[in-house]
Structure 1
């Protein structure tokens, strides 16, 4: 041991063995006092106390709580503010309609919290961090958007503590794909930062699902930026795409320049306003009075899909109005008419279903041969089983067989097509026997 001590002393050069013996022992980490102001170098916390004026130029301040600090931006909109086709004040009247998402809970605008994250990546795994959390809520006669941002991982826990306190004042969480992405990711971050699993149990209002139900084939995409432009009248100018947000954040971490993040703040702010407008749109629909605010949809497929979604949500008045509009429409895609006819068949509304199938056959061209085939099969089944008119059923079955045969000549006849032809051939043969027997 003494030999080792001698070698250490020689390496240090300027300290004797006696000095080493008398050197103070460092206290345990949990017994350390706060850094002294006269320390020779600044601590990490003291270094981050200074905030670049660039942050202040777009309304960002340094916020501190008992756990630490992070950046906060707060924007307050008057209720009269219009974002696209809707004014924020419409939330008061629209939100009660959203109770159809949770029929056992009453709903008011001041109990809904809007949430949107900007993250470092995709997925909800441990490697994906929400560097910016945007929330929106009604406060008196204003709509408030708050955005928090962390400059380094040490600020995440303070930011989450701030969010956890906010959550306690709300019952419903409104997002766009938040049930699958945003909220599970926030939950994971709460757990990883020691807050536990049960910080808050929200009642979800995820508007991605009704958007897909209503606009799945009408719009080329159900991304929020596309929905807001095509259906909410919102047109962004000089917007930073959400896909660039992680890149801009990593650039800030590398060079410390906050300027490029202004675009990320603006993008997230617009997302929050668009979420509020989606809540207004779907709330008006579920209140069945959207026509008081904007015209009803004019595309037959959107009418049918809107009606089917409303029906699933327990609404029938506006549903029937839209279905009748489709029935009277001059130009409607045969596949749309078949969709409505299928609904009427399940509901037992045979009169309109038959008219829709007949309309499909009349308006189907070669392009929609498969639609005419399906309509003929449905009519064949209707006349056979409901009316017992085997002659009419046989006629429709023959037409369906001809369509199927023509299609099989144009396309490769695979196993499915062969089975389809065989099924129709058997149907024709059965109906021919029934028709002949009925004529005797």
Structure 2
């Protein structure tokens, strides 16, 4: 489906044309002159003076002007009934309240559905330095029950100031900024551009909802990649067709600057629009997890590794009960792997749940002894437990000797200083336990 078709479909589903965003609060007016009425309407006199290339019209793009000049804007509205992958956009109304856990204390009153601004930039480079220019700004927000996707594009560098001025006018409507790595990339890039265009740095101070970090916490060991395009396909049921990779967007834009043909940019618009929809659905997914929707709105993970990682993240976010249910499911799974056993046991050790920690270490030790891994971590933990907690030096020595055997079988034993240090530490532990065991023997009469 062409981008123009998608845009028109979104408008038809919403039952009306594009809405007209507000011009912001007085805080933005202090930073830049007020955005004129033409900022939300392409029908002003300036728009008529500069006819657009017919290809822009096919893309659903219009010319927007304000006191700083003009730029291009494309707006698509999606109704709450719209599905993107497994999630319906209307789920945002109930899931958004859970995202307050990202900012405990600050967000005690909760998060309103229309207080979150989604952001995704298409830039000319990868860094956050002065030479990296955002040629397209993708925004998403809820307005009167619809999810609005706005995409601003500059046809040449002189239009950047007008595009940024309109953005600054919109920002005070929102409290939270939702991104995927936006805390360290998208927002710093914009702050740099605000400064270079004379608007200052502190035009707005958002409360960040950066979903890259929870995605890595939950899926780093179960997915091949935590790129948004991979997460959405593997966990949100979203399949992109004929998508232009984000890495090609800069070269397509540079080609447009060279030849003036906007038609190849259709793929960039489509890619960015899909990003904005996927970002909203990812926010819905994490919102459900944080508002008690695990097992109902969101299915339980299938893999023990993901169960444990999800539980660890939920526990850090203040949802201990939901985490405990996942830990229990994972510990009872026969297919749980060595690294997952170790991670869950480490959590139980920290929480003082020694009974389950020991059982998990014992399962891991059996797996290591059978050749599943060269790691001796479970053996060492058990040796420490029996030596220091139980004063059972015989069991402690047995696990220490088992660890010694495992590390000797390690193929990199003589290649790295860390392995040699581990071996030496185990020798000392083994010798100490032998002495303790000997000293504990009853003296012959």
Asked if TM exceeds 0.5, the reply is yes
1:424–1:236: structure 2 CA closer, same or farther, 3 Å change rule? same
Matched residues in 1 for 2:345 and 2:70: separation? 59
The residue that corresponds to 2:403 in the other structure is 400
Conservation of the 8 A alpha-carbon contact between 1:281 and 1:290: no
Q: Which residue of 1 is the match for residue 102 of structure 2?
A: 101
**How far apart, CA to CA, are the structure 2 residues paired with 1:370 and 1:74?**
56
Say which of 362, 376, 379 aligns to 1:376: 379
Counterpart contact for 1:60–1:73, Cα < 8 Å? yes
Question: Which runs of no fewer than 5 residues in structure 1 stay unpaired?
Answer: 1-44
Change (3 A) 1:277 1:363: same
* Alpha-carbon spacing, 1:366–1:387, altered in 2? closer, same or farther (3 Å): closer
Q: Structure 2 unaligned segments of length 5 or more: list them.
A: 1-45
Task: Show the counterpart of 2:423.
Answer: 421
The whole-number CA distance in structure 2 between the counterparts of 1:154 and 1:317 is 54
SS at match of 2:77: strand
Residue of structure 2 equivalent to 1:329: 333
SS, match of residue 292 in structure 1: coil
- What secondary structure is seen at the aligned counterpart in 1 of 2:185? helix
Whole-Å separation in 2 of the counterparts to 1:150 and 1:245 = 14
Residue matched to 1:436 = 438
Residue 11 of structure 1 corresponds to none
Compared with structure 1, are the counterparts of its residues 48 and 356 closer, same or farther at alpha carbon in structure 2 (3 Å cutoff)? farther
- Give the CA deviation at 1:326: 1.1
TM value normalised by structure 2: 0.86
1:301 aligned partner: 305
Q: How does 1:334-413 map to 2 (within 5 A)?
A: 334-364=338-368, 367-371=371-375, 373-407=376-410, 411-412=413-414
Aligned residues: 394
CA positional deviation for 1:293:
1.9
> What's the CA shift string for 1:258-308, capped at 9, x where partnerless?
111111111100000011011001111111313212321111111111111
Cα distance between partner residues in 1 of 2:236 and 2:243: 17
In the alignment, the residues of structure 2 paired with residue 419 and residue 154 of structure 1 have an alpha-carbon distance, to the nearest angstrom, of 60
In terms of Rg, which structure is larger? 1
* TM alignment of 1:152-301, pairs within 5 A: 152-301=156-305
Q: Do the aligned partners of residues 155 and 356 (structure 1) sit closer, same or farther apart at CA in structure 2, a change above 3 Å counting?
A: same
Query: Partner residue of 2:55?
Result: 54
Counterparts of 1:369 and 1:62 in 2: how far apart (Å)? 61
Q: CA deviation at 1:311?
A: 1.1
Backbone CA RMSD of aligned residues? 1.6
Distance 1:251 1:415 in 2: 51
TM-score by length of 1: 0.87
Counterpart CA distance in 1 for 2:51 and 2:183 is 37
Give the equivalent residue in structure 2 for 1:3. none
Deviation at 1:47, TM superposition (A): 10
**CA drift at 1:86:** 0.5
Change (3 A) 1:47 1:289: closer
Does structure 2 retain, via aligned residues, the 8 Å contact 1:380–1:397? Answer: yes
Q: How far apart, CA to CA, are the structure 1 residues paired with 2:252 and 2:400?
A: 62
- Does 1:145 find its partner at 2:177? no
Aligned counterpart, 1:27: none
